[in-house]
A and B are shown apart, each in its own frame.
Chain A
Amino acid sequence: MNTWIQCVTVLLPVAYMSTALLHGMAFAGDKQPPIAGWRRASLWTALALHAVLFALHARVAGGFPELDPWLIVSSVSLTVTLLWTAVTVRSRQASAGAIVLGVVGLLQLLASAFGPVTANVLAPLNAARILHVVTSVFAAAALVLSGLYGLLHLMLYRQMRAKRFGPIFRQLPNLEQLSRTTRRAALAGFLFLTAGLNIGIGMAHAQDVSGFDYRDPQVVLTIALWIHFGMIAFSHVIRGLTARRTSIAALAGLITLIATLLMALIPGITFHE
């Protein structure tokens, strides 16, 4: 079983990178039907491989696997791809794929390189804990997507300010759509984070989790992120929050989110390590 896990772990970043490359070819102007077909096939292959990887981990662990930081990164990669696929199906605009899937591929490469071969079962295994993990992963993925679309918005806006009408101008979705996706992804992240955060705090109180404190750096940063992305989600009704400022905020939120996740890797900083 471990051999299978190792094979899939190695193949997964390759699958994501290949998909990103095929999207990059489309971005550069190659939209021939065979390329479009390979792009779709490659994306579904990557998603299927990822599902197989988690199924194998669950089978080895004998239940819902405990997610170490690298497995969290891997599950965030999978969720980002799922959310992005939903966005593209709805908007019929897959041109951001090169960048979004490129970042996903990079995250998965790190997860594959540093992650464990096998995972333990989540203990204690209960519905609240599973829900806390799942909502937190979805929140992180939505916030990553919001940050990435914010980055794309800034890229296009800068190009348009500089009066450069190259591939970024021609291929990316329009400014309004990028801004809307940034806000909507932030809203999804905000809602999932509301659920994940409350379930987590509830569990911490109910189960008297050792080391839990509201002053814990990860808790503080997560609450800050919750407020931050809440503002981004409703930025269109807040005077003075221009689309550009919202995008900068989303990008800053993404960097903070990465810092928050990385915190768990350093011993002694957070109870969540």
Chain B
Amino acid sequence: MDSVVCVKRVPDTETKVQVGPDGRRIQASGVNHVLNPYDEYAVEACLQAREKAGSGEVTVLSLGPAEAAQTIRQALAMGADRGVLLKTDPACDYYMDPLSVAHALAARLKTMRLDLLWFGKLAIDDQSYAVGPAVATLLGLPCVTEVAEFAALPGRATATRVVEGDRVRMEVDLPAVFCASKGLNEPRFASLKGIMSAKKKPLETVDLAQGTARVEVVALELPPARQAGRWIGKGVEAVPELVRRLREEAKVL
């Protein structure tokens, strides 16, 4: 069972993001980066599939700056076998829209042998939800998104999607693309032993030939600061007024 998992280096969710001086991207300094949390579920799914099948390789593919090698190493430390980095050019620092990313990944993926192709369902930095399905389209592979349960069989796999109000179980022929949702599994931690052995695992870096931007980020703004709370009243008497305001002002009821 050979798998490829596509991962992205994203700002740590615990980082307080600041808008950079150009007003179009986040301030790079002082930002910790991590393996996109949804991709952790995808990596774990590949490792479990390999363990269950008793053979096969897990390849980690990432598109990003040179530092993304560190993110690939994190997945290697979890237990993946090899890594490929499609390195972006720092001199060509424009926003790559999801389809451009998908084209670049697909070009490489076409050369790779795989049964399973995993993505996190979204990257927490731009939340486009798009790259996984776009790659599946470009490769002409079936795709299941929002995967919350998964089992691989020889040549086939079952995947359960959790959608609003119900769960849909699907069977799909392999190779296929899967996008991991939260709760799919409990990703293992990268152990120190894993970190040491990750050092010896192959990591290929390929310079990415970049085109020109098709989608431009015009402005980046922080969400408005949260307003201070208001006292509506105390005790049971306050409830009708609270309900009224939730309905009329907040419009959440």
A binds B: no
Residues of chain B whose beta carbon lies under 8 Å from any beta carbon of chain A: none
